[in-house]
Chain A
Amino acid sequence: MRTILLLAGKDLRLISRDKLGLFWTLGFPLMLALLFAAMFSGDGAPRAIRVAVADEDRTSASEALAKALEGSDALKAVRLPADEGREEVRRGRLVAVIVIKKGFGSTLGFFGGPDAETPIELGIDPGKRAEAGFLEGIVMEKMFESVQARFRDPAELRRQIAAARGQELDENLRRFLGDLDRFLDGPGGGDFEGFRPTRVRRVNIATGVRPASGFDLSLPSSILWGLIACASTFAITLVRERTAGTLLRLRISPATRAQILAGKALACFATCIAVMAMLLAMGAFAFGVRVASVGHLGLAVACAAACFVGIMMLMSVAGRTEAAVAGAGWAVMTPMAMIGGGGVPLAFMPPWMQGVSHFSPVKWGILAIEGALWRGFSLAEMAAPCAVLLAVGAAAFSAGVWIFRRMDLR
């Protein structure tokens, strides 16, 4: 054990003196955490969509809709004439223009009325098709809110009934409107507060501490990037030992091959733990990240570190030079991180990619850390991601050692 500690201590000392290596190991993940936190701030909700609203109808109904759109949290709306709005969209400065066409107000009669064609036009940037459906939903929501407001106002309701009864109507509807009008005129009509549609209440399903900020969501991804950087750094140090000749010097010393590799693995493990501890501490003290279970977090951190020690070992035999190992390492790790949710969160991925993500240890690392931070995983629920991490680590380490041994004896 003394030899392993000596070798690990040497590696930690070397890492601490390599300023560029330190940046990639500690600074880079920190920057990623801040970047992703900024991207996913607001409890993970998408950022407000920039739109123009053009009111060509200029009625109280169109004004109410325009104001409702301006007041929406999901939108950042500016009032512009329709043509100007379309030009802004064409230039890519706005995502869409919502034009409330002339005649819109008259289409809001509940019981028939003049059929204006397309009372609302949604002009969208063709490159933002993902937002189109979302925007349509918001516009419809605001329209129904306007209609709902009218239903809730008995005086407005009576005006609409009177207007409708002057038109040609189905006999059953005419009878219903007559009954409704009589009800509003009767003794109970004064207390009528309008129709109340069913309300929807949103709740978070996680049973632990729910994510309080974007940092809660971005921190696990950033931690995984930190682990990737650690694994890459140590893989390169191992191949550097080979190219510089120090590995030969170690190999001809009384230290066994197993001790040499164990020393490297221990140093990598300790650095992984240090990186995770630093990021978690920063998250807790600077950004208010809370931990649902410290014990589970310790388990997740240890399993993730062990996994990436194994990956480091496998990466280190991906080539015979530092450039080859660095290139091959990042070429494999970057897609692995991307499909595992290290860049775009898994929830935003198409279903087929979510299926593929099962093959990425990054996904399981993120899941384990999220489970301990805010998903409120039980120990049994932690077992699956932790077991996958340990299995991947063990398989990668074994394969790496096997290849290393073959390279070493050549």
Chain B
Amino acid sequence: MILIEGLRKSYGALKAVDGLSVEVRPGETFGLLGPNGAGKTTTLHCVVGALSPDAGRIVIAGETDPSRPSVRSRIGAAPQALALYPELSAEENLRFFGRLYGLGGARLRERVAWALEFAGLTERRRDRVAVYSGGMQRRLNLACAVVHDPAVLLLDEPTVGVDPQSRTRIFESIDALRREGRTVMYTTHYMEEAQRLCDRVAIMDGGRILALDTVDALITRHGGPSVIDAEVDGRAVRIETSSPNEEVAKLASAGRLGRLRVDRPDLEAVFLALTGRTLRDE
């Protein structure tokens, strides 16, 4: 659905994206995981045609020019900044962006109602966005990206600065979009989000992709062993293993299990292994 080949983009001497190649399959939720400044947002802006790449090729749904209106009408994008008009209500924002994508009449009304429900803002639809909480604004930001029913979604850090409740709601919304079969490209620097939402994840740093695979495959390949910390017949045991389930079964049959703790590696460990830094350092 989205093909990026040899993408390069520099700001003066700074290489923001340095030869990035990736393919996002139809119906897939694809994550770009990396610290701030890794080149995720620049990649997304190039994909959607808001930035001109210095080199490389981008193909979306078979079209090579993402700035063409016919291509853009099939894409929904939620920028990292809250790209809303605070003086307008949620309903007015949705109606405006819906019209901008060519919706009108009953279809527009239907989609605006759907988007308000999707964002959980039906009750507050006539309130000015300026008086919404950060979480409500973030949900509306996402709703404005999907109001025109796009096949491809580009979500740039959609949960930045929101409370846990709104974050959960946004996760549920994205899960719902996945189930509908939309193709989602998702950038984040929260490994939990990538782990929970994405079918495949590309780990980015310094404008390059360091690794790309499913979450499980990345962890298996780069995350290192799981660590089992247990107490068997009153004796403390610590085991590093790539097959924690089998090792736990062995320990259980070896004696009476007192305490048991299994630490499986996650994407944080993968990033640490690949870069020598943690995501949180950034």
Q: Is the CB of A6 within 8 A of B83?
A: no
Closest B residue, CB atoms, query A247: B83
Q: A residues within 8 A CB of B81?
A: 244-245, 248
Please tell me if B132 contacts chain A, counting CB pairs below 8 Å: no
Q: B88: which of A14, A245, A250, A410 is its contact (CB, 8 Å)? A: A14
Closest B residue, CB atoms, query A11: B85
Closest B residue, CB atoms, query A13: B88
Q: Shortest distance in angstroms between B105's beta carbon and chain A's nearest beta carbon?
A: 13
Q: Is the CB of A248 within 8 A of B101?
A: no
Please tell me if B262 contacts chain A, counting CB pairs below 8 Å: no
Q: A residues within 8 A CB of B77?
A: 249, 252
Please tell me if B100 contacts chain A, counting CB pairs below 8 Å: yes
Interface size of A by CB at 8 A reads 22
Q: Is the CB of B99 within 8 A of A6?
A: yes
Q: Is the CB of B84 within 8 A of A252?
A: no
Please tell me if A323 contacts chain B, counting CB pairs below 8 Å: no
Q: Shortest distance in angstroms between A322's beta carbon and chain B's nearest beta carbon?
A: 14
Task: For the A-B complex with A7-B100, A17-B87, A249-B77 known, give 15 more contacts whose Cβ atoms are closer than 8 Å.
Answer: A6-B100, A13-B92, A14-B85, A244-B82, A245-B81, A248-B45, A249-B97, A250-B100, A252-B49, A252-B75, A253-B97, A254-B69, A254-B73, A255-B69, A410-B51
Q: B residues within 8 A CB of A409?
A: 51-52
Q: Is the CB of A248 within 8 A of B83?
A: yes
Chain B contact residues (Cβ within 8 angstroms of A): what range? 20 to 34
Q: Is the CB of A249 within 8 A of B101?
A: no
Q: Shortest distance in angstroms between A336's beta carbon and chain B's nearest beta carbon?
A: 30
Q: Is the CB of A248 within 8 A of B84?
A: no
Q: How far, in whole Å, are A18 and B85 apart by their CA atoms in the complex?
A: 12
Please tell me if B50 contacts chain A, counting CB pairs below 8 Å: yes
Closest A residue, CB atoms, query B80: A245
Selected A-B contacts with CB under 8 Å, 18 pairs = A3-B100, A13-B88, A244-B84, A245-B79, A246-B84, A248-B50, A249-B79, A249-B83, A249-B97, A249-B144, A250-B100, A251-B50, A252-B48, A252-B49, A252-B50, A252-B72, A253-B72, A256-B69
Q: How far, in whole Å, are A18 and B75 apart by their CA atoms in the complex?
A: 32
Q: Which residues of B contact A (CB under 8 A)?
A: 11, 45, 48-52, 69-70, 72-73, 75, 77, 79-85, 87-88, 92, 96-97, 99-102, 144
Closest B residue, CB atoms, query A21: B87
Closest B residue, CB atoms, query A9: B96
Q: Known A6-B96, A253-B100, A254-B100; judge A246-B83 contact (CB<8 A).
A: yes
Q: A residues within 8 A CB of B101?
A: 253-254
Q: A residues within 8 A CB of B102?
A: 254
Please tell me if A93 contacts chain B, counting CB pairs below 8 Å: no
Q: Shortest distance in angstroms between A214's beta carbon and chain B's nearest beta carbon?
A: 38
| Contact residues of A between 247 and 273, Cβ < 8 Å to B | 248-256
Most chain B CB within 10 A, of A14, A248, A249, A409, is at A249
Q: Is the CB of A10 within 8 A of B85?
A: yes
Q: Which residues of A contact B (CB under 8 A)?
A: 3, 6-7, 10, 13-14, 17-18, 244-246, 248-256, 409-410
Q: Is the CB of B69 within 8 A of A245?
A: no
Q: Is the interface of A mostly helix, strand, loop or mixed?
A: helix
Q: How many A-B residue pairs have CB under 8 A?
A: 65
Q: A residues within 8 A CB of B99?
A: 6
Q: How far, in whole Å, are A251 and B11 apart by their CA atoms in the complex?
A: 20
Q: A residues within 8 A CB of B100?
A: 3, 6-7, 250, 253-255
Closest B residue, CB atoms, query A17: B87
Closest B residue, CB atoms, query A243: B81
Q: A residues within 8 A CB of B70?
A: 254
Q: Is the CB of B96 within 8 A of A10?
A: yes
Q: B residues within 8 A CB of A249?
A: 77, 79, 83, 97, 144
Closest B residue, CB atoms, query A260: B100
Q: Shortest distance in angstroms between B115's beta carbon and chain A's nearest beta carbon?
A: 14
Q: Shortest distance in angstroms between A3's beta carbon and chain B's nearest beta carbon?
A: 7
Q: Shortest distance in angstroms between A329's beta carbon and chain B's nearest beta carbon?
A: 21
Q: Shortest distance in angstroms between B8's beta carbon and chain A's nearest beta carbon?
A: 15
Q: B residues within 8 A CB of A18?
A: 87
- Lowest 4 A-B CB distances belong to which pairs? A245-B81, A254-B69, A245-B83, A249-B83
Q: B residues within 8 A CB of A255?
A: 69, 100
Q: How far, in whole Å, are A256 and B92 apart by their CA atoms in the complex?
A: 21
Q: Is the CB of A410 within 8 A of B96?
A: no
Q: How far, in whole Å, are A13 and B91 apart by their CA atoms in the complex?
A: 14
Q: How far, in whole Å, are A392 and B72 apart by their CA atoms in the complex?
A: 35
Q: A residues within 8 A CB of B49?
A: 252
Q: Is the CB of B11 within 8 A of A244?
A: no
Q: Is the CB of B72 within 8 A of A254?
A: yes
Q: How far, in whole Å, are A186 and B49 apart by their CA atoms in the complex?
A: 107
Q: B residues within 8 A CB of A244?
A: 81-84
Q: A410: which of B11, B72, B82, B85 is its contact (CB, 8 Å)? A: B11
Q: How far, in whole Å, are A74 and B152 apart by their CA atoms in the complex?
A: 78
Q: Is the CB of B85 within 8 A of A246?
A: yes
Q: B residues within 8 A CB of A250?
A: 100
Q: B residues within 8 A CB of A14?
A: 85, 87-88
Q: A residues within 8 A CB of B97?
A: 249, 253
Q: How far, in whole Å, are A302 and B81 apart by their CA atoms in the complex?
A: 37
Q: How far, in whole Å, are A410 and B87 apart by their CA atoms in the complex?
A: 29
Q: How far, in whole Å, are A255 and B144 apart by their CA atoms in the complex?
A: 15
Closest B residue, CB atoms, query A251: B50
Q: How far, in whole Å, are A251 and B75 apart by their CA atoms in the complex?
A: 12
Q: Shortest distance in angstroms between A11's beta carbon and chain B's nearest beta carbon?
A: 10
